[in-house]
Structures are given as C-alpha cells and as structure tokens.
Amino acid sequence: MKSVRAGWRRVFAQFAHPARVVVAAFGSALVAGAVLLALPAATESGEHTPVVSALFTAASALCVTGLVVVDTAGHWSAFGELVILGLIQLGGFGVMTLASLFGLLISGRMRLRTRLYAQTETKSAGPGAARRVVLGVVRTSLLVEAATAVVLTIRFATGYGESWGRAAYLGVFHAVSAFNNAGFALWPDNLVRFATDPWICLPIAVAVIAGGLGFPVLWELRRQWRHPRRWSLHTKITLGVSGALLGLGTIVLTAVEWSNQATLGALPVPGRLLAGFFQAVMPRTAGFNSVDVAGMHPESWLSMDLLMFVGGGSAGTAGGIKVTTFALLAVVIWAELRGEPRVNVLRRRLPDDVQRQALTIALLGVGVVIAGIWFLLTITPFTLDQVAFEVVSAFATVGLSTGITADLPAAGHVMLTVLMFIGRLGPLTLGAALALRARARRYELPEERPIVG
C-alpha cells in the first residue's frame, strides 16, 4: 500500500513541474474559451459556432495570434468579443502570472511553488523575483494599454463620429490587442481603412513595439534610460536587433510595394511611408494590417516570413524564436568563422548552455514550420508561398494572413491551432512539460570528432 501511495506521489510530483503546469493551465484556458465561444450567446445570429471554429478562435486569442476564420465584428456578439478580449489579456499576462497575482492578492504572500510557476511563465531571473515580476507585468501592461486606449478613444470619437461609449470600447479593445501583439480588429478589413491616419496607426504601432520588447527590457529602460552603458546584455541585444530589423523591414517592404496599386501604390506619399512602417512593425508578431496582405508581392511575403520567424523580444507578448536567439546564433556563426575558441558579444562571454539553447530553439522552430508547411501542402490546393506565410504566422503567433485561413479544411485549422499553442509556450517549455524527468549523467564518454561539412 505504501509503495502505491509513493508511486502516486511521484506521478503528481512529475506533473507539478512548473513547465508542465503552464502547459496544462494554457490548455485548460483554451478549452474554457472554446466552450464559451461555442455558446449561442457568443454570436450575433444566436446560433452555435462549430467546435473547430470556436477552438481556433480561442487559441488565436489566448496565444495572442490574431488569425481568424470568421469576421470578428460580424460573427461574434458583444459577449463573444469580450470573451476574445479576455483571452487576449489572459494570454498576454500568462496564465501562471495571472494565477500568481490572484494568490498574492488573497494571501498577501506567495508560496515557493507558485513563484516557480510564475518564473517559468515570465522567464524571471529567480524564484525570489517572481512577486516583483508579476506585479511589474500587470502594472506595465495596464499602463501601456490605458495610454493607448485614451489616444484611440479620443481619435475615434472626434475623428470618426463614434459615440464616446463606442469609442471607448473600440479604444480599449484595440489597445489590449495591440500591446499583447494579438492583432484582432473589429472591422472586416482589419485597419486598412485607417492606413493613412497616424493617430490610429502610430499609437497601435508603439503599443505593439512596447509589448514585443519584453517586460525585462521595459523595466530596465524605465530605471536606466539615461545610462545606456549600464544596460544588461539582454537589453542591448534586444534593442539593437529589434531596431535593425524594424528599419530594414520598413525599407524593404516600402521599396517593394511602393508602386503596387493593390497596397502602397494607391496611397499618397506620406501614407505610403506610414503604411510601410506600420507593416514592418506587425511581423514582430502582431497581426494588424493597414494594407491588403493578399495583394502584396511574393518578395514581401518572403521578407515578412523571415521577420515573423524571428519575432520580438523574450519575456514579452511577442512570438517567434525571439531576436536574442537570432542574434546569438549570428554571433556564434561569426565566432566560428573567425576561429575564436570562445563566443563573445559586447565584451561579454556567452555560456555554452545559452548557445545550445539558442540552437535548439531555432532548429525546433524550423522543424515545426517545415512539418506544418508539408501538412498543409498535402491537404490544400494553395501555393507554397501562401502556405508558408500561413504556417509561419501561426507558429510565430503573428496573425497576418494572405487570406486563405477561412478556406482551409478543418484539419488545417486544427493544425494551425496546434502551431499557435506550440508557438506561444515555446518549444523548450513544451518539451520540458512532456519530458518525464531530467536525467543527470554520472559519467563522460570518450571524445571523438566526426567530419562536419
């Protein structure tokens, strides 16, 4: 009898690993959101939404992606839109971050296990910092969302004739969607009708960038914005690479689409520049679009594929493999080409385990994307560039689409749901959740070098 109880305790102990709890919590929230969206009260017509469509929409909102299979404003009722908004906010905070906050408010203190859960979700430096991290996440999110909502509310009310109540609803919805890098919009054309309006596009773009930088970077900038030399290596890499990718993306997309009458070509010159910048911001994993993505040139799609796969900063609301992973891999390659025995960046040496983590994340991401592309190509008639764009957008939790999402079969929607779930939690977190236990090696094998290349 004692051995049976001991066996059950070991099972529960394995399941209680923080990474597995995060996966289970996200899965539970996903199911709950899908159930709510499947209710007749969640639709304008008062009819049930098909299970796959409800599940897909719930996953897209919880994983802060933005891909849709039905028109958000036309299909969902006010209740349904509020469910989507709640899932977006929940996904942005992180299920464990929000749960940790509730525990803190109720008990006034956090147990060690709860801190470990919060650490796993927020990538904080250690268990002791989890309480500060959770409160900082909430304060930062609400502050940026509130500031963005105020600007948008005023613009919708004064510039587009919306009542103040409706303007406030639109402002809050799109502010939350922007900061959490979700990309859900309440118009059939997303934000195309506002392509030349800087009072709509710029606040949303700023919120997207802020959310995509990651909470550690935002906190450090708040404390040390006057002293760049004191910034951590993580902040320097995130800001530098994000700025470079944003600038390069703006130049490439604007140049390629400049004369395209289906996108930028029909806009005045200031509008082209604004729309080009806006579209370069969105692949850092927000799914808003101010031009018709389906009308873009294939070169633009490929450029956006690369930007989406890299994504934004770590410990934020962005997806992708993250800019730090991309930068570290570039540094590792450069050091190997130079024959350096150690990998150094900005006068700091990179630990070997960090290099392995970056390589693992990137290769797992490539493998997942290739598998998704192959699957969709076998079950749909769409072209490779269309399918690749859709798969990368789902995995990187971006939400941009060439317009084929709603036309995919149910199996394709299920596959994209899985990709969004994996992309939100991260390959390493999901892998750790599925692993039974960590195995320590107590011996070393003889060394032998195979031929490489």
Tell me which amino acid residue 448 is: E
Cβ within 8 Å of residue 227, ≥6 positions away: none
Is residue 229 within 8 A of residue 157, CB to CB? The reply is: no
Tell me: pLDDT of 253 over 80. Answer: yes
Q: What is the pLDDT of residue 11?
A: 44
Q: Residue 196: which pLDDT band, with cuts at 50, 70 and 90? A: very high
Residue 4 lies in a domain: no
Joined together, the tokens standing for residue 408 give 């995919």
More confident residue, 90 or 432: 90
Residue 373 lies in a domain: yes
* Nearest in space to 250 (alpha carbons), one of 214, 211, 205: 205
Residue 442 lies in a domain: no
Q: Residue 434: which pLDDT band, with cuts at 50, 70 and 90? A: very low
Q: What is the pLDDT of residue 4?
A: 47
- The average confidence (pLDDT) of the chain is 84
Cα–Cα distance list, 155 to 160, 161, 167, 194, 254 (Å): 7, 9, 8, 11, 26
Residue 447 lies in a domain: no
Q: What is the pLDDT of residue 133?
A: 67
Is residue 416 within 8 A of residue 401, CB to CB? The reply is: no
Joined together, the tokens standing for residue 253 give 């997309």
Structural domain span for residue 82: 10-431
* Nearest in space to 392 (alpha carbons), one of 414, 365, 410, 411: 365
Residue 5 lies in a domain: no
Rg value, the chain, Cα: 22
Tell me which amino acid residue 394 is: A
66-92 residue pLDDT tens: 899 999 989 999 999 999 999 999 888
DSSP state of 345: E
Q: Residue 224: which pLDDT band, with cuts at 50, 70 and 90? A: confident
Residue 444 lies in a domain: no
Task: Outline where 46-111 has alpha helix (H).
Answer: 51-62, 72-75, 78-93, 95-107
Is residue 203 within 8 A of residue 288, CB to CB? The reply is: no
Tell me: pLDDT of 448 over 90. Answer: no
CA distance 419 to 395: 5
Q: Residue 386: which pLDDT band, with cuts at 50, 70 and 90? A: very high
Structural domain count, the chain = 1
CA distance 181 to 93: 12
The angle that helices 215-224 and 130-159 make with each other, rounded to 10 degrees, is 90
Residue 446 lies in a domain: no
Q: What is the pLDDT of residue 149?
A: 97
Residue 195 lies in a domain: yes
